Chain A
């Protein structure tokens, strides 16, 4: 089973700052790497799929990069609604695994 490790666990930033979130896989995941955002009390919503493609309706300030085992989610300039928890996820055969999440909190 592929293990996804996200870092940091918590990111304390101010609105307008740039956020850089990391997701590292225990083995190569091809490009089936997805990023989700989860706000309190809500279901996750997809931001980025195939490592770097933005999902429908997702603002351009969200971008994804990486390949192989190292992936990054970047939020270029944090808006108030971006303070949330972010998860990476990969698919291998039929199986999904999630990272443990990174919380982006207001500094």
Chain B
């Protein structure tokens, strides 16, 4: 059974960085891209980027380039997303999602990141 389990909620101060983890199980980790999507309170879904767990190749949304880094660890089947220079507008639920043929068939449970002084 496929599972994506994310790390717990975080509270950060403006200017800090946050790292959110997404641990995959129940499938061959290297065979599926992982996307990161965030959702600010009461708002829609915003795509952040994609990582290929096999080779570590990444592609980030232009909005986040320079502030986001996605990495994968095949030994632990984990993908991390680090966002730096946090501001209040980064307060959101962050999701990892597995891509299967251009759609996401499994999502993590979401991680709330709160940015507040």
Contacts and interface: CB of A to CB of B under 8 A. Distances in A.
Interface of A: 1, 32, 34, 36, 38, 43-46, 49-50, 55, 87, 89, 91, 93-101
Nearest to B52: A94
Most buried by A among B104, B107, B108, B109: B104
Contact of A46 (B44, B47, B59, B103): B103
Given A46-B105, A91-B102, A98 B44 contact: yes
B101 A96 contact: no
A93 B47 CA distance: 14
Given A43-B107, A43-B108, A49 B50 contact: no
B105 A98 contact: no
Given A95-B61, A101-B44, A43 B105 contact: no
Contact of A44 (B45, B50, B101): B45
B109 A34 contact: no
Contacts of B101: 49-50
A96 B47 contact: yes
Interface residues of B, number: 21
A49 B45 contact: no
Interface residues of A, dominant DSSP: strand
Contact of B59 (A43, A95, A97, A98): A95
Contacts of B95: 43-44
Interface-central residue, A1, A43, A50, A89, by most chain B CB under 10 Å: A43
B110 interface: yes
A50 B102 contact: yes
A100 B108 contact: no
Contact of A55 (B61, B102, B105, B109): B105
Interface in B11-45: 35, 37, 44-45
A91 B95 CA distance: 17
A95 B36 CA distance: 11
Given A43-B95, A43-B109, A43-B110, A98 B46 contact: yes
